[in-house]
Structure 1
Amino acid sequence: MSSRSPGALAGSAELDPFRLEHVADPYPVYARLRELGPVVHLPERDLWVVTRYESVSAVLRDHRRFLSGLGSSYERVAETGFRAPFIDNDPPEHTRIRRSVQPRFQRGPVEQLRPGIRAATEHLVEAAVAEGEVDVVPALSQPLPDLAIRQLTGITPPDTATITEWADSVMHMIGPDADPVHAARVMASFEWLAGPGAAGMPAHCLGRLITEQGGETGLLHEGQERLLTLGSIWLAGIDSTNSLLANAIHAFALFPDVWDAVRADPGLIGNAVEEVLRWDSPFKQFFRRTCTEVEIGGVALPADADVCAILPAANRDPQRFADPDTLDVTRPDARHHVAFGASIHLCIGAPVARLEGVELLTALAARVRRFEIAGPPVRNPNREIRNFTSLPIRLIKDQM
């Protein structure tokens, strides 16, 4: 392979962002990778890593040269035999599949979910505040996405523990070095969905629209494609929002003055959700494959290269965001983050996740004066998504 820039440096094994020692705090290694150049090659994985905002955006927005159809996960579709409908397809297949459900994620239909999500949020927050000290993962960040996705899709899972395990395994499976147990759990989740899950869905829900009618357009292929499309919305929507919600509470526990600003001006809540997404992004990376030799920032990548775009690194790039390691809910360009991806592969469920984030912060701002970390936070050793398995928090009630 050729290079026309010193940015084509080879990263040492210590700079491998997938090593478990980087799970708790990956930002130092992300910064070192950014400093090396627009592209860094990891020889042991034969992987080209992009961490700068400009480079990550270029990869995500150019679907013609950086393909998703060969696989957007660490392993290629040819190696796993599994193709996720939304993220592992290029146009025109991607366009056909996405348009089949896109109307349900537009402003009007999403807004119709608000009353139910608000009621669920109020109930969960009231119970947590009454308790005083809770692990916010089982108390808030896990149950709320489950309840929201039930409203969206019509799917009622067997129990909270099972759906949490299934959703977590999806994220483990699409990352590197996945334990086979995760693939088995994901298979079990789709077997359940095809049987009792689908049978238990109410009439006129999104789940039945997809499985029985092929979506809004009727163009989803019968059988596996319909099931995988519904399952992708269901499972991905739970763990990613779980991450957003827990990361938000953790962030405001670390920056109490910023929480004071949010409470003083609830009009900041929408931008606060965007800033949390930028500051501690749920998804760690997406993968693409080159269809020809391409250039990024003066670095030539060969055809058929595996490219890893690291989203949280881009969102903390000082060349794009001023003082990027600081949480600033008044940041005017917070929404320019790439936490949900970009372009045609922008996360389809992003509007629902944003709605849940706004409702949770609104309910908490009305009741909680301060978040205090009440025990050691435990990060999930998941290489694909940044969330917690445990986050003990003391909720100091509002005295006003």
Structure 2
Amino acid sequence: MASSHSRWTAWAATAKRVPGLQPLITPVFEILWATAAYDGTIEWMDAVANRLPMSVVADLIGVPEAYADQLARWGYASTRLLDGLMSADELAASMAAISELNAYITTRLREAATSPRDDLIGVLAKACAAGELDAFTAQLILVSLFSAGGESTASLLGTAVSILATDAALQRRLRDQPDLLGVFIEETLRLEPPFRAHYRHVLGDTELAGAALPRNSRVLLLWSAANRDPAHFEAPDEFRLDRPISKGHMSFGRGVHFCLGAPLARLEAATVLRMLLDHASRGSVGPGNTRLLWRCSQTERHHPVAPVPVETINPDDACRWARPSDKESV
């Protein structure tokens, strides 16, 4: 298990590299959008939300772009283990994918140990060689970035677009007041966290909010419930951009288990949504405003698909969303 020190060492190494990824996110979005926004509809999840985060994570870690799709398959297979609703065959397939991902990561770390490099794999390999990090922890960190680093950001992008596309007034407000985009992202995270819950293993007898937690028991921490605590958030079920505590949610965890990829997820979401608002004028979700479905999972909050109608301005320009025929909550 990763220690507090090693986790924060890795977090610092990750966060330090995040600002430098801004120039990468923009062209990746442009390519994905231009390629997929045709014939009147863009399938947002498959075309952009599921692909862009893994391309960026691959660059951050130091993996060739050609491996991005394969890494996405491995990473998403690992997060499926948290669904709690898998068949025996699905479980076996996910475990096989995780084994392949671990083997790939182990190979890359060994290569970096003998060939110094400036990407995150190189930083972690150097920390292992200096005794600041053990190999198992380095592997866990990379698996987390490959899996949750792609999945959680994809979920955030999908949820954010579903909220935007069904509320033309909200779109207009964010265009008129772009400084509110960060608050919009935090409120999206609060109301619909990419992971509704996570399991925790209790290492020793303790107490939480008056409840006894025996050693070796398992706890399911419900982030989505905490994010809608009326004692902490006024009108918790409402989407509001005027909340005084915009980052008071638990969607990225807290303390030693705080999400390593949080700075990157926020940067990706801000960049992609800002560009989307620049590219689009108004929007609706799916043919006839079809209600979007959520993936069946006990822990994840993810749209499997999100078809968004678009009108092509011209072949060399961006696209804009079609006008919604009516408004339906998602």
Both structures adopt the same fold (TM-score exceeding 0.5): yes
Whether the 8 Å contact between 1:366 and 1:398 is mirrored in structure 2 is: no
Give the 3 Å change call, closer, same or farther, for CA 267–130 of structure 1 in structure 2.
farther
TM superposition shift of 1:193: 3.2
With over 3 angstroms needed to count, the CA separation of the structure-2 counterparts of 1:195 and 1:109, relative to structure 1, is: closer
CA apart distance, 1:343:
1.8
Q: 1-side partners of 2:154 and 2:66: how far apart?
A: 18
Distance 2:4 2:212 in 1: 29
Matched, 1:96 2:16: no
Amino acid of the residue matched to residue 194 of structure 1?
A: T
Bigger drift between 130-139 and 298-307 goes to 298-307
C-alpha RMSD over aligned residues: 2.8
Determine which of 104, 108, 111 is the counterpart of 1:192. 104
Q: SS of 1:395's equivalent? A: strand
Q: Using a 3 Å threshold, how does the CA distance of structure 1 residues 203 and 289 change in structure 2: closer, same or farther?
A: closer
TM-aligned CA distance change 1:330 to 1:202, over 3 Å? farther
Instruction: Say if 2:286 and 2:307, in contact at 8 Å, map to a contact too.
Output: yes
Residues 217, 283 of structure 1: CA spacing in aligned structure 2 closer, same or farther, 3 A cutoff? farther
2:50 touches 2:150 (CA, 8 Å); kept in 1?
yes
Aligned equivalent of 1:243, options 132, 155, 163: 155
Deviation string 1:210-253 (CA, Å, 9 cap, x unpaired) is 23x1369651224x443333232222211111111111101112
> What is the distance in 2 between the residues matched to 1:125 and 1:216?
42
Residues 58-137 of structure 1 aligned to structure 2 (within 5 Å):
89=1, 93-106=2-15, 108-129=16-37, 132-137=40-45
Partner of 1:66: none
- Amino acid in the other structure paired with 1:203: R
Distance 1:127 1:367, change over 3 A: same
- Residue 64 of structure 2 is matched in structure 1 by 156
Question: Who is 1:275 aligned against?
Answer: 187
1:216–1:192 distance in 2 versus 1, CA, 3 Å: closer
How far the C-alpha of 1:293 sits from its partner, in A, is: 4.7
d(CA) in 1 for partners of 2:107, 2:215: 42
CA distance in 2, matches of 1:300, 1:228: 29
User: Is residue 312 from structure 1 mapped to residue 221 from structure 2 by the alignment?
Assistant: no
CA distance in 2, matches of 1:253, 1:216: 49
Per-residue CA deviation, residues 246-293 of structure 1 (Å, 9 max, x unaligned), is 111011123332222111211111111111111110012122244215
Distance in 1 (CA, whole Å) between partners of 2:111 and 2:38 is 37
CA-CA distance at 1:315 after TM superposition? 1.2
The separation in 1 between residues aligned to 2:208 and 2:279, in whole angstroms, is 51
2:205 to 292, 309, 312: 292
SS of the residue corresponding to residue 394 of structure 1 reads strand
- Give SS of 1:366's match: helix
CA distance in 1, matches of 2:254, 2:193: 14
Q: Percent identity?
A: 25
Post-superposition CA distance 1:351-379 (Å, at most 9, x none) = 00000000011101112122211145343
**What are the ranges of 5 or more consecutive residues in structure 1 without an aligned counterpart?**
1-88
Preserved CA contact (<8 Å) 2:44 2:306: yes
Task: Name 1:220's counterpart in structure 2.
Answer: 133
1:380 maps to 2:295:
yes
Deviation at 1:158, TM superposition (A): 5.4
In structure 2, how many angstroms separate the alpha carbons of the residues matched to 1:295 and 1:196?
40
